[in-house]
A and B are shown apart, each in its own frame.
Chain A
Amino acid sequence: GESVGLHLPTLSVQEGDNSIINCAYSNSASDYFIWYKQESGKGPQFIIDIRSNMDKRQGQRVTVLLNKTVKHLSLQIAATQPGDSAVYFCAENRAGANNLFFGTGTRLTVIP
């Protein structure tokens, strides 16, 4: 699959537990951050985004936290389900541009 040869950080959680996936970004000029989920054989799927004028945003079962001081982003998934098993990428976008810079990704495995 796509991940062969790429040593992704991994996270295993029990079904029903909460998951936290972390990401460090590099450019202080980035003002827009997105989390994507990628399942095997598919393209990245948008989960949630946040602009730099916010530090928290909530969606359905997901929350994104942004700490600009330490350039850190996290994705929290509540009540993790087997269907959440996938690789999760954070991406940053710089003001006025449309070229996303992606992190290496984290493989989330949900144990039933």
Chain B
Amino acid sequence: KAGVTQTPRYLIKTRGQQVTLSCSPISGHRSVSWYQQTPGQGLQFLFEYFSETQRNKGNFPGRFSGRQFSNSRSEMNVSTLELGDSALYLCASSLGAGDTQYFGPGTRLTVL
């Protein structure tokens, strides 16, 4: 089975812009979770989607949003980018709640 894929792998944006990141889960997995990884804060949970519904949300501002499509693919969007949004954004998929989450390679976002 193919693993979790994320596109693009690298992005450079400027402050105030918005960005959309994409994640394709492992075939058959219906849950997709997003995480932000930074040197200062480590790995932090953003949100989780299951069957096109957001089930859980972390402690991030409303500028961070996401959605899931009927084929379980997910996108996350960050609007009005700030310098502090520079991070590695990771997507993980699992069969369902409480199952093992498998991570993609991440999207490295740099905000200038």
Which residues of A approach B to under 8 Å, CB–CB? 2-6, 31-32, 34, 36, 41-46, 49, 89, 91, 93, 95-105
Contact = CB atoms under 8 A, between A and B. Distances in A.
B56 A43 contact: no
Q: Is the interface of B mostly helix, strand, loop or mixed?
A: strand
B37 interface: yes
A111 B88 CA distance: 28
B105 to A, nearest CB: 5
Interface in B74-100: 88, 90, 92, 94, 96-100
A4 B98 contact: no
Given A43-B103, A44-B103, A98 B97 contact: yes
A98 B43 contact: no
Given A5-B39, A98-B55, A43 B105 contact: yes
B37 A2 contact: yes
A100 to B, nearest CB: 6
B103 A45 contact: yes
B33 interface: yes
Contacts of A104: 42
B42 A98 contact: no
A32 B96 CA distance: 13
29 contacts: A2-B37, A2-B38, A2-B39, A2-B88, A4-B39, A5-B40, A6-B40, A6-B42, A36-B103, A41-B105, A43-B90, A43-B104, A44-B43, A46-B100, A46-B102, A97-B56, A97-B98, A98-B48, A98-B55, A98-B56, A98-B94, A98-B96, A98-B99, A99-B48, A100-B33, A100-B45, A102-B42, A103-B42, A104-B42
Q: Which residue of A2, A46, A99, A103 has the most chain B CB atoms within 10 A of its CB atom?
A: A99
Contacts of B97: 96-98
A44 B33 CA distance: 13
